[in-house]
Amino acid sequence: MWENFYTNGIIAMNWDNLGDLSNYTSKEEISKKLQEFEQTTSSKKNDATANYEFKHLLKEGDIVIAKKGRDTYLGYGVVSSDYMFDDTKKKYKSYRNINWISKNEWTDEKGGIVVKTLTDITKYPEYVKRLTKLIGISESGLEKAQTTLSTLPLNSILYGPPGTGKTYTTVSKALQIVDPSFLKTHISDRKKLINRFQELAFDTLTEKGQIAFITFHQSMSYEDFIEGIKPIAPEGDAIQVTYEIVPGIFKQLVKAASSHGGNFNEKIEWLKGECSEAENKSPIIINTGNTEFSITYRGGKTFRVKPKKSINPDIDHPASIEKY
């Protein structure tokens, strides 16, 4: 089971008879359902708490440590998605994606690993310290994994069969781009996230907003999405239908975005001053990881850019600062 989870990059719960955990608003509801399934008078408190916290409290960026028995750890990783439910799967239908950083088997000689399915150990600092040393959780490893979460590409594709949480995940993915601080503060409050998502929704009439949610289906055409000629119903005494070029939702979004100039001019003026040869400023050095560039401003409408590893080190290249 561990190898399967590691390969697929998930963590999952094994109470499939509960169904989608999004349908429960409290631990008490989950407890009652578990009592019904198992026909028991036991409180089922621990099992209910594990499922409730897996859905409502666990969040992107949290560190998860997998265990086996009372003395063995199997690995650790960083949670990389919201809660998802896939009813088409044979088992482990409730799950989250996770970026596994390390897998192995570490035996804790002191033993005493908690037996609960899901336990928040941050309240036990000495235990955390011993554990991180045992399995080699490094700050650099965690920083790398968490940086990956915060630098996701703006163009993403969420895929999978119906019920895998694509629409559900869209809310947090959109907020991660347009309002990451709000998402971080309210990551566990689904209602607030949805309300914020709706506040930022794009209005085609006012052309205000930052998020557009579109369902692509068989009747949606290029004209609906980009631009097309559409019939306009006659008004008043007119009887003839007219045709006009009407922008689609994507073109409307582009137009709305382009109307916000931001601080482009301010930043350009700052950059000019920082690397102006007329003011005896040194070039600005930019390191992209594999290549290093120096940027100089000599007046006019262009910067001069020189790659450090250029074949001809004496030649630089113009980069226009015209805003289109």
Whether 137 has a pLDDT exceeding 90, the answer reads: no
| Three-class SS of the chain | CHHHHHHHCEEEECCHHHCCHHHCCCHHHHHHHHHHHHCCCCCCHHHHHHHHHHHHCCCCCCEEEEEECCCEEEEEEEECCCCEECCCCCCCCEEEEEEEEEEEEEECCCCCCCCCCCCCCCCCHHHHHHHHHHHCCCHHHHHHHHHHHHCCCCCCCCCCCCCCCHHHHHHHHHHHHHCHHHHHHCCCCHHHHHHHHHHCECECCCCECCECCCCCCCCCCHHHHCEEEEEECCCCCCCCCEEEEEECHHHHHHHHHHCCCCCHHHHHHHHHHHCEHHHCCCCEEEECCCCEEEEEECCCCEEEEEECCCCCCCCCEEEECCCC
pLDDT at 150 over 70: no
Residue range 187-236, pLDDT digits in tens: 778 888 899 999 999 888 887 888 888 888 888 888 888 888 888 888 88
- Average pLDDT on 59-87 reads 83
More confident residue, 219 or 2: 219
Half-sphere exposure (CA, 13 Å, Cβ side) for 163?
10
Quick: pLDDT tens for 237-258. 878 888 888 888 888 888 877 7
Residue 139: per-residue pLDDT: 55
Q: How many CB atoms neighbour CB 55 within 10 A? A: 23
What is the percentage of the chain residues whose pLDDT exceeds 70? 85
Mean pLDDT score across all residues of the chain: 80
| CATH class of the 2-139 domain in this structure | alpha beta
Domain ranges of the chain: 2-139, 222-258, 264-320
The pLDDT of 283-288, averaged and rounded, is 77
Q: Are 54 and 82 in contact (CB under 8 A)?
A: no
Q: What is the pLDDT of residues 157-188, one digit of tens each?
A: 777 777 767 787 888 888 888 887 788 777 77
Tokens of 9: 């990059």
Is the confidence at residue 310, as pLDDT, over 70? Answer: no
pLDDT of residue 33: 92
pLDDT, position 9: 75
Given pLDDT bands bounded at 50, 70 and 90, which one contains residue 147? very low
